[in-house]
Amino acid sequence: MRDVHRTRLRMALPVLGLLTVPLAAGPLPGAVTPAAAAGVEQAPERDIRARIESLPGMRVTAEKPAAPGRRDFEPAYRQPVDHRHPERGTFEQRLRLLHKSTHRPTVLYTSGYGLVSNPDFRSEPTQLVDGNEIVTEQRYFDESGPNPVDWSKLDIRPRELHGRHAQAPDAYFYQLGTQLGYPQYSTPHLTDLLRHPGVQDVRTYVPRDIPLRFQPHTMADIDRWVRHDGSQLLFVYGENDVATAERFRLGRGSRDAHLYVAPDTNHRARIESLPTKDSAAAKATLRRWAGQ
């Protein structure tokens, strides 16, 4: 592989798990509140669907069958096309909320693509902490993007509000070619065998009429943040994954941050892929962050 440092390919798990602990969600099960202790009758907790729909810009488009003890919602969140210029229009981003309890931690799962269609799916962090899960559909994939699409607004700054668009392959490769980076392979030894030269170039997958200018400062900025200010981070890489060549690095400023490499594993590496000692340590870290 060549030019990896030029493209700054940096990916950890193919998913991102953001764990939140319900500090303000309400009293823990079995806890006696001051109102209850004083004999004051408490109002029943509002239905979770009503609470979701009361959020500005949020609506629930469907509630699907779920396992006992859980509810499976498909909300849609209206957001600006350009967060720096919110007056320039909006679009809806599809989500999936698998709800168990307001007293359980919540995991934000980002696959980087579309919504997970398997109704029984729960990400590894969600299973480990037995929590709620929010799944986001990447911006500009399938149904969660503006129409018509403005590719110049697909950058990394609003990626915490993920979405999806019908031209999903274009969206994916566009961001690889402009900000995230894409691996380059040396192919001279394959010249007489290649039927499609240039297949390793990200430009091949983006229509020629769409500008594709790489911005090397974007991922470098995130890398600096990880090394100098990042906290409560856990990275899991596969030893045989090309992304591992440009993995994130922890630095002196990284606090309560951990990095593991799963041996003989590719991009599908998970905590369960790690050696027993590392797997146990990673699980203990996640559960500690969840207050368990």
Length of the chain: 292
Q: Output DSSP code: residue 180.
A: I
Q: Phi/psi zone of residue 191: left (φ > 0), alpha (ψ -120 to 50 degrees), beta?
A: alpha
Task: State how far the Cα of 179 lies from the Cα of 158, in Å rounded to an integer.
Answer: 13
**Tens of pLDDT, residues 44-76:** 567 999 999 999 999 999 999 999 999 999 999
What pLDDT shows up at residue 253?
Answer: 97
Spatial separation of the C-alpha atoms in residues 142 and 89, rounded to whole Å: 18
Question: 164-165 and 258-262: which strand pairing?
Answer: unpaired
Q: What is the mean pLDDT of residues 202-221?
A: 88
pLDDT value at residue 26: 40
Residue 86: Cβ within 10 Å count: 11
Look up the pTM and report it. Answer: 0.72
| Neighbour count for residue 20 (Cβ, 10 Å) | 15
- 279 vs 5 pLDDT, higher one: 279
Q: What count of other Cβ atoms lies within 10 Å of the Cβ of residue 232?
A: 15
Q: Is the pLDDT of residue 284 over 80?
A: yes
Q: Of 22-31, 172-181, 238-247, 271-280, where does the model show the most confidence? A: 271-280
Return the higher-pLDDT residue of 54 and 152.
Answer: 54
Mean pLDDT over 72-95 rounds to 87
